[in-house]
Amino acid sequence: MKSTILILIISTISFISGCQATGEQYQADVFTTNDVNTKKEVKTIELLMVQLGKVQIDNTSGKETATKAAGIFGAVLGAALGSSKNSETAALAGLAGGTVGAVGGSMVADKVMVDGVMLTYIENGKTYTSAQVGKECQFKVGIAAMIFNEDTKETRIQPNNTCPITQ
């Protein structure tokens, strides 16, 4: 019984820590199904500088998921632990466990920091910068492609380098 409870606690902690936004959806080389098989205007630019940075990402949905999951887990665990006494103790322990779990889950951050880069580039003789979610190794000084959305003013500078494969 004790080892089962320990496994459940460790699993929940792992789950809650996994409820964190990665920002992956903002990377220039990530596309939605609406982007597939569509024509987009692309400009070539010259990257002058690649600087390491961080990008702050909203983690509201991860926090909500962690709060709900931890609350449910706490209620189940509390009821299970309290059931060895009697049904009234099980109900109170379940309520207390659910409350403690929800409070614990709500401690997941609203915003998280993910890897990013600040790219300085030349386009049509003018110098610009653009913050991008991604890794520094994905970019290098030189020619790169940039997808520009006129409506949102969004620039997606496509990676022009590959990162080393880690094992």
pLDDT in tens, 137-147: 999 999 999 88
Which pLDDT score, from 0 to 100, does residue 25 have? 73
Percent of the chain with pLDDT over 70: 56
Q: Are 45 and 123 in contact (CB under 8 A)?
A: yes
Task: State the burial class of residue 83 (Cβ atoms within 10 Å of its Cβ: 0-12, 13-18, 19+).
Answer: middle
Average pLDDT, the chain: 75
Class of domain 23-58+111-167: mainly beta
**Model confidence pLDDT, tens digit, residues 66-97:** 666 666 666 666 666 666 666 666 666 666 66
Q: Where are the alpha helices (DSSP H) in 19-160?
A: 60-82, 87-105
Instruction: Please tell me the predicted confidence (pLDDT) of residue 148.
Output: 78
Write the pLDDT tens digit of every residue in 17-56.
555 566 677 777 777 787 778 888 888 999 999 999 998 8
Q: Around 106, how many Cα atoms within 13 Å sit in the side-chain half-sphere? A: 7
Q: 139, 161 in Cβ contact below 8 A?
A: yes
Instruction: Look up the pTM and report it.
Output: 0.58
Compute φ and ψ for 68, nearest 5 degrees: -65, -50
- Place 122 in a pLDDT band, splitting at 50, 70 and 90: very high
pLDDT-based confidence at residue 64 (cuts at 50, 70, 90): low
Residue 125 backbone class (left: φ over 0; alpha: ψ -120 to 50; beta: rest): left
Predicted local distance difference test score (pLDDT) of residue 150: 73
Give 91's Cβ-side CA count (13 Å radius).
Answer: 3
Banded pLDDT at 120 (limits 50, 70, 90): very high
